[in-house]
Amino acid sequence: MPCPPSTNVVTGKWLFRHKLTSDGSLDRYKAHWVLRGFTQRPGVDYDETFSPVVKFATVRVVLALSWDWAIHQLDVKNAFLHDTLMGFVYCSQPIGFVDAARPDLVCRLNRSLYDLKQAPRAWYSRFASYLASISFVEAKSDTSLFI
């Protein structure tokens, strides 16, 4: 799609990794297209950033109260890739996938990508709304604590 005038186009780059097995041998190759979020401009491409980090005092209180509870930890794989973006974000065509007939076109993102300034807030909003839908309430003292 053609980019609207006065809109910033975020560029990206490829990141390549070798995934190894537990014995150290090569399992597979991985490639990620990540955006250069540092090229985004405040007030143009995003309004605010957000980093949902639990307060240390919250961790201490929960651990003190839960001496006989089963405590579990989890990691959401590719968390920032699952969320719908609010507003419009445009990025250049990925290197190696540029349409030769239309090299000036850009990609309008529907979902967030790594290093995008909006990615943490989009993920947190989706996660918090899901927890609210199953009757959890966000604590006023810590946005990372749901009761």
pTM of the entire structure?
Answer: 0.66
Question: Whose CA is closest to 89, among 107, 102, 115, 105?
Answer: 107
- Calculate the alpha carbon distances from 75 to 12, 78, 90, 138 in Å: 25, 9, 29, 20
* HEC-encoded secondary structure of 75-133: CCCCHHHCCECCCCCEEECCCCCCCCCCCCCEEECCECCCCCCCHHHHHHHHHHHHHHH
Q: Which residues make Cβ contacts (< 8 Å) with residue 29, sequence separation at least 6?
A: 16, 17, 18, 19
d(CA 139, CA 147): 7
Provide the mean pLDDT of the chain: 82
- Mean pLDDT for the stretch of residues 1-14: 72
Cα R_g (the chain), whole angstroms: 20
pLDDT range class, residue 21, cuts 50, 70, 90 = very high
d(CA 135, CA 147): 9
pLDDT range class, residue 29, cuts 50, 70, 90 = very high
Torsion angle of the four alpha carbons 130, 112, 110, 101, in this order, in degrees rounded to the nearest 10: -160
Phi, then psi, of 128 in degrees rounded to 5: -65, -40
pLDDT tens by residue, 42-56: 766 666 677 778 888
Give the pLDDT confidence score for residue 18 in this predicted structure: 93
